[in-house]
Amino acid sequence: IPLWLPGAKEEILSNSPAGKVPILRHGYSLGNALGDIVIWESLAICEYLAEQYPDAGLWPEDPAIRAVARAVSHEMHGGFTAVRRAMPMNCRASKPGKGMADGVADDIARITAIWRDCRDRFGSGGDGGGDGSGDFLFGGFTIADAMFAPMVSRFATYGVQTDPVSDRYRDAVLNLPSMRNWMDDSRA
């Protein structure tokens, strides 16, 4: 659904009771009944997918590490309002140096602190019990990385300067084939 065009809100409302995106529509069967389930909230979509595909490793296996992954995902989902207001997500734009309104620097500092901490404790940069297999917050790609992907996109659009650990994390997310496809589709 192309956003911010005439009719977009009506089309979203025809697919989502909340009138917002993202939306997951998934066919399911319950006994003899077939139908579509509609899930309209990011974390609910993520949890549903983690339950549908338990072998995909969408959350870390260790319960304590999984709790940290959920905590940073929830913080991302509900926080960083200064960045969201001052640096709207727009994959088609390039606005280096723009968007540094009140509170944005504090949000950026907290986001990059999360990235450094998770990479150090749970990613391949540390020995904190993550799977250590990759460049993401908890080693391999998880829901936490999916939750931070829009922030990574904003940082790229606005040319946000970060530290070397955060730079490597940002680049790892931006270089994911699925992220490149998402960005290319958004630009188109």
**In contact, 57 and 142? CB cutoff 8 Å:** yes
- 94-127: pLDDT as tens digits: 999 999 999 999 999 999 999 999 999 998 754 4
pLDDT digits (tens, 9 = 90+) for 159-168: 999 999 999 9
Q: What is the pTM of this model?
A: 0.87
- Mean pLDDT score of the chain: 90
CA angle 99, 96, 20 (to 5 degrees): 55
| β-bridge partners, 124 | none
Helix (H) or strand (E) holding 168: helix 164-174
| Predicted local distance difference test score (pLDDT) of residue 91 | 86
Q: What angle do CA 7, 9, 13 make, to 5 degrees?
A: 115
